[in-house]
């Protein structure tokens, strides 16, 4: 049992070490989220104005940008599997005594660790956009980032288990990530869209990760607003069959996704390699 845990740790540590050694990757991983925040925020903030007193478009979008950064880096963590396969290292790892499940878990944990670190760094922008980041809020956010990143890393590992080239993996991940990102409520309230679009948003599991993070950031601001949420058009909590999801319920949905993705990744490795 000790060898299994050690093997999982070694694989996860290798992913973290590789990320820390690639400074260009560290810098570029923040480029797109910040680009969206600056361009979309500056471009639409004056047009849209305040959604409710104290919450403008930039403040509304920022929690979604944090989630987007974690999601993108988690799902792209599977790229290391394709790289290892191309250079023959994966075959050596798969014969280790920890089994295929240990390999999948190690890869997912390593990718999640990288994504969590990037998500935490993104939090330093909170005061810049006018949101306060207290130790209590950070303590609540980190478990959500862990759940979200681990779940999406499992999806990245699952996709990577079927890919044979880095170029093919990157193209496929972009096709998967961008619809999930734009249909997760990062840029708009999910309950204020046409019915057909609302249905797509609510079957997207990423929506619930974004919503949980936004509830933590904006819950107090909206609660203290002088404008009733029902009259403002801005709501927190995804409404599913008339029930508004809480932070805990959002986290449960994302956790279930993670269990399914990790189990599917283990099965895929068992049948493919």
% of the chain with per-residue pLDDT over 90 = 3
Asked if the model's pLDDT at residue 54 lies above 60, the reply is yes
Q: What's the chain look like in SS3?
A: CHHHHHHHHHHHHHHHHHHHHCHHHHHHCCHHHHHHHHHHHHHHHHHHCCCECCECHHHHHHHHHHHHHHHHHHHHHHHHHHHHHHCCHHHHHHCCCCHHHHHHHHHHHHHHHHHHHHHHHHHHHCHHHCCCCCHHHHHHHHHHHHHHHHHHHHHHHHHHCCCCCHHHHHHHHHHHHHHHHHCCCCCCCCCCCCHHHHHHHHCCCHHHHHHHHHHHHHHHHHHCCCCCHHHHCCCCCCEECCEECCHHHHHHHHHHHHHHHHHHHHHHHHHHC
Asked if the model's pLDDT at residue 261 lies above 80, the reply is yes
**Cα Dmax for the chain:** 62
Tokens 């694989």 — which residue?
Answer: 11
Q: Taking the model in full, what pTM does it have?
A: 0.83
Asked if the model's pLDDT at residue 48 lies above 70, the reply is no
pLDDT tens-digit series, residues 11-24: 787 777 777 776 66
Q: Please give the pLDDT value at position 256.
A: 92
Q: How confident is the model at residue 34 (pLDDT cuts 50, 70, 90)?
A: confident
Q: What is the mean pLDDT of the chain?
A: 78
Pick the residue with more confidence: 223 or 180? 180
Q: Please give the pLDDT value at position 165.
A: 82
Asked if the model's pLDDT at residue 227 lies above 50, the reply is no
pLDDT tens-digit series, residues 77-90: 778 788 777 776 66
% of the chain with per-residue pLDDT over 70 = 79
**Averaged pLDDT for residues 41-57:** 66
> What tokens appear for 125 in the block?
């922008």
Asked if the model's pLDDT at residue 37 lies above 70, the reply is yes
Asked if the model's pLDDT at residue 253 lies above 80, the reply is yes
Pick the residue with more confidence: 173 or 225? 173
Q: Rank 27-31, 122-126, 205-209, 223-227 by mean pLDDT and report only the highest.
A: 205-209
Q: Please give the pLDDT value at position 223.
A: 55
């Amino acid at each position: 049992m000790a060898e299994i845990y050690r093997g999982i740790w070694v694989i996860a540590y290798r992913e973290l070490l590789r990320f820390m050694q690639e400074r260009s990757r560290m810098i570029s991983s923040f480029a797109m989220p910040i680009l969206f925040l600056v361009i979309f925020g500056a471009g639409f903030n004056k047009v849209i104005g305040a959604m409710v007193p104290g919450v403008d478009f930039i403040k509304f979008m920022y929690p979604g940008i944090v989630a987007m950064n974690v999601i993108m880096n988690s799902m792209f963590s599977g790229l290391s599997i394709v790289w290892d396969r191309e250079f023959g290292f994966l075959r050596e790892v798969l014969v280790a005594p920890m089994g295929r499940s240990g390999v999948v878990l190690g890869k997912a944990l390593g990718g999640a660790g990288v994504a969590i670190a990037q998500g935490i760094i993104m939090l330093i922008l909170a005061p810049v956009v006018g949101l306060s980041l207290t130790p209590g809020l950070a303590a609540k956010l980190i478990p959500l980032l862990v759940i979200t990143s681990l779940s999406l890393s499992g999806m990245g590992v699952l996709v990577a288990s079927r890919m044979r080239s880095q170029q093919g993996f990157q193209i496929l991940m972009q096709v998967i990530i961008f619809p999930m990102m734009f249909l997760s409520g990062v840029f708009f309230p999910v309950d204020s869209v046409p019915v057909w679009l609302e249905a797509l948003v609510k079957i997207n599991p990423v929506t619930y990760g974004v919503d949980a993070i936004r509830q933590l950031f904006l819950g107090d601001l909206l609660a203290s607003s002088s404008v009733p949420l029902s009259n403002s058009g801005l709501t927190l909590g995804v409404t599913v069959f008339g029930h508004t999801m809480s932070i805990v319920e959002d986290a449960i949905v994302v956790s279930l996704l993670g269990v399914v993705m990790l189990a599917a990744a283990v099965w895929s490795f068992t049948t493919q390699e």
